[in-house]
Amino acid sequence: MLIKLDSHNQAHQIFLYDLQVERYKYKDTNIPHVTPDTEPTLEEHTKRLWLKPFKHYYIYMEDYTYKGAIYIKGEKEICIFIAKQYLGSHCGEKCLTEFLEILPSHTNCKSIIATININNKASIKLFEKMRFKHVGNVYGRTL
């Protein structure tokens, strides 16, 4: 189930911070200026959530456990992160499916894109399965 992000909820803050640190640790990030040595602190990360709220930001929860996050960056770029221990358990597919079902009623956007690291084969497979088409260096889909 998707839960709307509450940037002032400490459990949400900690989960998202841990998810971000995990990405830095495994170098699975498209943020070139961030390395495990320069990753933000929990306080800096929380401040960023407050100061720069992303559109349509949700935490994916299953069996009373936070397992991932999904949001729109900018006007129409979809970003999804699943905690490493839940990769391969179809959490990404469930999260993305739910998000795509609710998104049209929350935005007037007619299409969305996903920028995916070319080495992230699982993510590419997921977005292709969800009817996103590879266009240039992004994957796109109409809503």
pLDDT tens track, the chain, 143 positions:
999 988 889 999 889 888 888 876 665 555 555 555 667 788 887 777 777 667 788 999 999 999 999 988 888 889 899 999 999 999 999 999 999 999 888 778 788 999 888 888 889 999 999 999 988 778 888 87
Place of tokens 């456990």: 65
CA distance linking residue 76 with residue 55, whole number of Å: 9
For the sheet containing 77-82, what is the strand order? Answer: 2-4, 55-62, 65-73, 77-82, 111-114, 138-142, 133-135
- Give yes or no for a contact between 102 and 70, defined as CB atoms under 8 angstroms apart: no
Distance of CA 97 to the CA centre of its chain: 13
